[in-house]
Amino acid sequence: MLPYGRQSIDDADVAAVVAAMGSDWLTTGPRVAAFEADLEAVAGAPCVTVTNGTTALHAAYAATGLTAGEEVITTPMTFVATASGAAVLGATVVFADVEEDTANLDPAAAEAAVTSRTRVISAVDYAGVPADYDRLRKITDTAGVFLLGDAAHSIGSAYRGRPVGTLADLTTFSFFPTKNLTTGEGGAVASIRPELLERVRDFRTVGSIRDPRRLRRADEGGWHYEVHEFGLNYRLPDVLCALGSAQLRRLAAFKARRARLTARYDELLADLPGLRLPAQRSDVDPIRHLYPVRVKDGRRREVYDRLRAAGIGVQVNYIPVYWHPVFEDLGYRRGMCPVAESFYAEELSLPLFADLTDSDQDRVVEALRGILGS
């Protein structure tokens, strides 16, 4: 089965992990700080590593002080963690519809959803294309709320010349194997606001504080630490951070290869009837994480099944979050975000990853042409 996404691991990645395994530090060691510094160089803002993209969202929401009774506005066209990370803190998730061309959060819909209880607006860079952060920033500044960017798809992307880590108050990343770089499992939170990043760092370390300047009782002894607020153990170990730093050295090559594969899909599928290709905005420089086509005329299920039967691992990204039973049981109903639901009904992600060969891509195109041309 040709997967829709897959990691790229080379000898340098393996050597970095082996070196970490042979060191004195398997976790909480120097490779964590090194990876965070390497991430900052790409994200454009200081970063704190965590265990995965989901815990990055949980820690970022916790850093805003989000509590029960407050609201988070977000898109339904995302993985459930963008919403569940807020829900587990007791917040109410308010879903706003998406832009018709990019499937990113529609700023107008987000603005219409703002209430006196809103604390965070969370955008998602769907498929690697950054959301419209300047318009979203105007909304959050006016409302006095936080802007969060879920950049699980978009590390390495830029919006109007600025890297994605600089666009929101808090930005989260995922390093799952299908993402643009991998640590196996892993994630990070970037922030342009030092006080928020400090709260993320505390939260990911079970709330423990050792900085003498912040201790209430600094004279207890060298062993002393304090917990001022509850947190969880979301630390990413040195072994995985070593892999992440090695992967970051290849990110530019990954981006270039994904761009070439995207251009080939655009060219090879341009005249295929019944298929709509992904939009490209002029004000962004994306690292294309997904290649999401839209299959018209109600044929998406047929195309999905036939491609899978042919050994081509296409995927659907995503089921609208509020369709999941956990939200349905809370009273959310279908029909809330018609643009997102229309997008979901047609969306199909074609294989796209750095090691995808031209011949494998040609196989995908040929199979797709054979189905839609019949």
Q: What does the pLDDT look like over 259-315, one tens digit per residue? A: 999 999 999 999 999 999 999 899 999 999 999 999 999 999 999 999 999 999 999
* Distance separating alpha carbons of residues 43 and 153, to the nearest angstrom: 13
* Distance separating alpha carbons of residues 53 and 59, to the nearest angstrom: 10
Amino acid 219: pLDDT: 87
Q: What average pLDDT does the chain have?
A: 97
Give tens-digit pLDDT for 10-38.
999 999 999 999 999 999 999 999 999 99
* Distance separating alpha carbons of residues 189 and 62, to the nearest angstrom: 12
Closest CA to 349 of 22, 63, 48, 5: 5
Is pLDDT at 248 greater than 80 in this prediction?
yes
Is pLDDT at 109 greater than 70 in this prediction?
yes
CA 67 to chain CA mean position, Å: 23
Where does residue 129 rank: exposed (0-12), middle (13-18), buried (19+ CB within 10 A)?
buried
Closest CA to 20 of 181, 176, 183: 183
Largest CA-CA distance found in the chain, in angstroms, rounded:
78
Residue 8: pLDDT band with limits 50, 70, 90: very high
Amino acid 206: pLDDT: 97
Amino acid 138: pLDDT: 98
DSSP three-state, residue 73: strand
Is pLDDT at 374 greater than 70 in this prediction?
no
Across 110-120, average pLDDT: 98
Please state the length of the chain.
374
Give tens-digit pLDDT for 171-202.
999 999 999 999 999 999 999 999 999 999 99
Amino acid 282: pLDDT: 93
Which one-letter amino acid corresponds to residue 350? L
Residue 325: pLDDT band with limits 50, 70, 90: very high
Amino acid 373: pLDDT: 87
Is pLDDT at 60 greater than 90 in this prediction?
yes
Where does residue 314 rank: exposed (0-12), middle (13-18), buried (19+ CB within 10 A)?
buried
DSSP string for 120-131? EEEEE-GGG---
Tell whether omega for the bond before 318 is within 30 degrees of 0, i.e. cis. yes
How far separated are the first and last CA of the chain, in Å rounded? 23
Q: What angle do CA 51, 57, 63 make, to 5 degrees?
A: 105
